[in-house]
Amino acid sequence: MNLNTHWLQPDWPAPANIHAATTLRTGGVSLDAYASLNPATHVDDNPQLVSQNRHIIKTLLNLPSEPVWLNQTHSNRVVKAIAMDTPQQADASYTDQSGVVCAVMTADCLPLLVCSNDGAEIAAIHAGWRGLLDGVIDNTIAAMQNKDLLVWLGPAIGPDRFEVGDEVRTAYMAKSAEYATAFKQQSDTKWLANIYQLARINLAALGISKVYGGDFCTVTDEKQFYSYRRDQVTGRMATLIWRD
């Protein structure tokens, strides 16, 4: 992991024309629970401060264009990244165009970045346990033409903090027995889920083995990351990818 002051850069062997980052919670202008680099408009932060934060992110990362923000709903919907006045309702976007910035926002859910080995295609995915279970990763990979892909797992809730009910494990086990390794029993009805392992199992089933990252915990690292589970009222990190 290449950690800068206000963002982290994925440690993955992506082609030279691929650029990516996850913003941290520092370096912005939002206040109180949203301090400070919150780019999310849907969390009741001051809209003017959010707008300033988005400008800061664009400047910090030297983005070639405004990120294509999505209206995320924990769905399995993937769309082509196209700038619109009203954000598209989806939880993943992809493009084969240079200068287009795919982006997702998270605060415990798993952000995944995808690029083809030839640097021609990119995607960004927001995967909470629901979206992951419902196939948001599958749908994104299916939308991409090139199947020789690299994936980076960005900062999400860690395996020691993600407690879920028995119904979550049951739903995953109904999909594949492989998912058993991603759950550790806490009590009769509670389990600790490893969302990184869930994603790796999903990706392996799709034939993708070049998977990197997945060693963060948004809940325990309060200085760097927003966490909904920890704070309830909070901002979001942006995970972005673009190509030359």
Concatenated DSSP letters of 65-78: S--B-EE--S---E
Distance (Å, whole) CA 105 – CA 236:
6
81-134 residue pLDDT tens: 999 999 999 999 999 999 999 999 999 999 999 999 999 999 999 999 999 999
> Are residues 70 and 104 in contact, defined by beta-carbon separation less than 8 angstroms?
yes
Kindly state the average pLDDT of the residues 65-79.
98
Share above pLDDT 90 across residues of the chain, in percent, rounded to a whole number: 98
220-240 residue pLDDT tens: 999 999 999 999 999 999 999
Distance (Å, whole) CA 131 – CA 195:
11
- Phi and psi, residue 237, nearest 5°: -90, 150
Domain range annotation of the chain: 2-157+207-243
Given this model, what pLDDT does residue 5 score? 79
Burial of 47 (0-12, 13-18, 19+ CB in 10 A): exposed
Kindly state the average pLDDT of the residues 61-74.
98
**pLDDT value at 2 more than 60:** no
Distance (Å, whole) CA 5 – CA 15:
24
Distance (Å, whole) CA 65 – CA 172:
38
Q: How confident is the model at residue 1 (pLDDT cuts 50, 70, 90)?
A: very low
CATH of domain 2-157+207-243: 3.60.140.10
Given this model, what pLDDT does residue 3 score? 52
Kindly state the average pLDDT of the residues 201-210.
98
Return the structure tokens found at 199.
């994603």
Given this model, what pLDDT does residue 4 score? 61
Bridge-based pairing of strands 70-71 and 88-89 is parallel
